[in-house]
Homo-oligomer: A and B are copies of this chain.
Amino acid sequence: MQHKERRGGPPSIVEVARAAGVSTATAGRVLGGYGHAGAASRAKVEEAAQRLGYRPNGLARSLIHGSTQTVGVVVTDVGNSFFASAVRALTDVVRAAGYEILLANTDSDPAAEQRALQIMWEKRVDGLVLAPQGPGTAERLRPMAEAGLPTVLLDRPLAALPHVDQVTINNTACARSAVGHLTRLGHRRIAVVSEAARDLDRLRDARVKDGDDERPSAARLVGHLAALRRAGIEPDPELVVHSPYDRHAAERSVRRLLRRNPEVTALFCTDNVLSSGAVAALQDSGRSCPGDISLVGFDDQDWTTLVRPRLTVVRQPRRELGTAAGRRLLERMAERERHAGQESAQGAGSGAAAGERIVLRGRLITRESTGPAPGTARTPSA
């Protein structure tokens, strides 16, 4: 009498129980590690499980427990080293607490974000880390947040969701400090390469503070403008060059900039891929750096110390970003666990409790790609 396995699938606990000659309840107790089980049953069940190659079915378990031990992570692109680092750090933190990662990329496409959120919701993740993507994220996320799903926002704040934890970087201040460094060196014609250049008019007079509802690139552009203003420089739209998020496009944009505005003596790049394009364009331009032109990049990648001159950059704590998000999420999930059942249905996690806003600090690392503006002997302002 061979144990007839009903389907091709892996053996279930009832097959193990039958093989061991006990009830499924007892088999469950042994294999699930709950309740008591006698030594004799235990041995029989363990032997049978071993023999049949039994693995518990996490789906069934999750269905009952209402917990999948999985967190959803939705980012723009794991292929980007910024998110790759953050996700890696995040994974380590939550994994130590027994959670796995369900990963989705959106490529900044709101529709893709919507799909990703739906799926995370259907798969019943226990928590969610999201790098918001463009217009409408708050509305897309609200139902989930209000249903009490522990959620942490990453990299980009969302003022419209005050109850949701948010972990970001002080982008505006970073940019201000980077550009401030340039103005102090006497530069007046300072260009910026930014994905957000198109929004210049809107951002121009905005008093965007760190932690407000802006994409990092926009926040950095705001910081750039603020630094110029502080130095008494009127921002020139000509020097705010747009580039899509692509190295070669950035290279072309910078090349065009240098051709049209040869008087520029300094350049600020608002992120890593734009920085690398700018370096390429600069090398190609025949200008000496920092002799003719100074350059500040964003994100302290390994290669920034390998090029000559070594790049002055804003270092962002990418790993810490992931770590902080993971920790915050674990706390929220633990809270929810604690309050489970004792709270009534409504708003278990969306109560009046304000979400925490963690703003990590990037910092300027001065290296060799920035120097005094050409022909400046006058004392730097401020």
Query: A114 contacts which chain B residues (CB < 8 A)?
Result: none
Nearest B residue to A340 by beta-carbon distance? B8
| Neighbouring B residues of A88 by C-beta, 8 Å | 77-79, 105
A330 at interface (Cβ–Cβ under 8 A)? no
Residue pair B55, A345 in contact (C-beta under 8 Å): no
Closest residue of chain B to A60, judged by CB? B63
Measured CA separation A340–B307 after assembly (Å): 56
CB distance from A369 to the nearest CB of B (A): 12
Contact partner of A7 among B53, B143, B283, B345, CB < 8 A? B345
Are B78 and A68 touching (Cβ within 8 A)?
no
Tell whether, in the assembled complex, residue B341 and residue A8 are in contact, meaning their CB atoms are under 8 Å apart: yes
**In the complex the two chains form, is A56's CB within 8 Å of B307's CB?**
no
Q: Is A10 an interface residue (CB 8 A)?
A: yes
A213 in the interface, Cβ–Cβ < 8 Å?
A: no
Q: Is A288 an interface residue (CB 8 A)?
A: no
Copies in the complex: 2
A124 to B63, CA, bound (A): 13
Q: Is A87 interfacial (CB 8 A cutoff)?
A: yes
A320-341 contacts to B (CB < 8 Å): 340-341
**Interface of A: prevailing SS:** mixed
Chain B neighbourhood of A95, CB < 8 A? 104-105
From the candidates B68, B79, B102, name the one contacting A59 in the complex (CB within 8 A).
B68
**Chain B residue at smallest Cβ distance from A87:** B78
Q: Cα distance A4–B33 when bound, in Å?
A: 33
Q: Which residues of B contact A285 (CB under 8 A)?
A: none
Of B7, B85, B103, the residue contacting A91 (CB under 8 A) is: B103
A62 at the interface (CB under 8 A from B): yes
Q: A65 → chain B, closest Cβ, in Å?
A: 10
In the complex, whether A13 has a CB less than 8 A from a CB of chain B is no
A325-382 interface with B by 8 A CB criterion: 340-341, 343-345, 348
Tell me which of B7, B100, B306 contacts A102 (CB under 8 A): B100
Known contacts A63-B63, A279-B306; is-contact A123 B100 (Cβ 8 Å): yes
Query: Using Cβ atoms and an 8 Å threshold, which residues of chain B touch A80?
Result: 84
Does A81 make an interface contact (CB < 8 A)? yes
Determine the chain B residues whose CB is within 8 A of the CB of A301 once the complex forms.
Answer: 303
Select which of B7, B9, B58, B247 is within 8 A of A123 by beta carbon: B58
Contact A306 B59 (CB under 8 A): no
A21 beta carbon closer than 8 Å to chain B:
no
> Nearest CB to that of A247 among chain B residues?
B302
A311 to chain B, nearest CB (A): 10
Out of B9, B280, B307, which one reaches A66, CB within 8 Å? B9
- Chain B residues whose C-beta falls within 8 Å of the C-beta of A143 in the assembled complex: 53
**New A-B pairs, 10, CB < 8 Å, besides A59-B123, A78-B88, A81-B81:** A8-B340, A8-B345, A55-B121, A56-B122, A58-B123, A100-B119, A102-B103, A306-B306, A306-B307, A308-B308
